[in-house]
Amino acid sequence: MNLSLEYKIREPKIKLDENPLLLLLHGYGSNEDDLFSFATELPDEYYIVSARAPYNMQYGAYAWYAINFDADQNKFSDHDQAKVSRDLIAGFIDELIQTYPINAEKVTLIGFSQGSILSYAVALSYPEKVQKVVAMSGYLNLEIVTEDYLKNNFHTLKIFASHGTVDQVIPVEWARKTPAIVENLGINITFKEYPIGHGVAPQNFYDFKNWILENE
């Protein structure tokens, strides 16, 4: 079925009237196959959907928004593209719920790197669509959240955030600022660090999987 984003899906092995959803959002320059490799290890009762970012770079590489460099090699994120992707993901959640028997009150975003940054943006902008976020190797960028996000009700939102202490792509210091910001919004957040670079350590995977199971 043609939805607004390309995706891969693993249907639940345990079928309920309505099943929960894990929506996987990959990082910059990757594709939907990347995080989908987790699918076989994730709980059997979930729909697992791995979405492809909309901006085509080349050779199977995609981005949720462009990252540009100036003459001094300073990085600039394209916030306009990020906002478009934010709203695309929000609409894609609606499409999935209309297409598959998904429980709209049990939607979890699992994002890595740029996908993590978008997961925060979608959840804070549209908390009625997302109940849980697993944000790995990313950070909260309030410049790509909807302008009126402070009016939103976050009482059902929970976040698991993690980062490598020697991440060479997104400094861990950026991630460490996130818990205080979301706690001030009344959002329950678990934040963990691992002695790795820009990636997902096995312990990180087991920790977020257990967190999902504990917060069902």
We report the CATH number of the domain holding residue 76 as 3.40.50.1820
Number of domains in the chain: 1
pLDDT level of residue 93 (50, 70, 90 thresholds)? very high
Q: Is the pLDDT of residue 73 over 70?
A: no
Does residue 86 belong to any structural domain of this protein? yes
Does residue 158 belong to any structural domain of this protein? yes
Q: Is the pLDDT of residue 71 over 80?
A: no
| Full domain range(s) for residue 120 | 7-214
Closest by CA to 137, choosing from 78, 83, 178, 88, is 178
Does residue 2 belong to any structural domain of this protein? no
pLDDT of residue 36: 92
Average pLDDT value for residue range 45-58: 95
β-pair type (102-112, 19-25)? parallel
Does residue 55 belong to any structural domain of this protein? yes
| Residue owning tokens 């992707």 | 85
| Residue owning tokens 């943006």 | 121
pLDDT of residue 72: 55
* Angle CA 197–27–88, to nearest 5: 155
- Of 68-77, 113-122, 188-197, give the lowest mean pLDDT range: 68-77
Going 7 to 129 to 83 to 205, the CA torsion angle's sign is: negative
Does residue 161 belong to any structural domain of this protein? yes
Does residue 154 belong to any structural domain of this protein? yes
Q: Is this structure's pTM higher than 0.85?
A: yes
pLDDT of residue 70: 56
Does residue 1 belong to any structural domain of this protein? no
Does residue 87 belong to any structural domain of this protein? yes
Average pLDDT, the chain: 93
Contacts of 61 by beta carbon, 8 Å cutoff, 6+ apart:
29, 30, 31
Please write the tens of the pLDDT for every residue from 135-152.
999 999 999 999 999 999
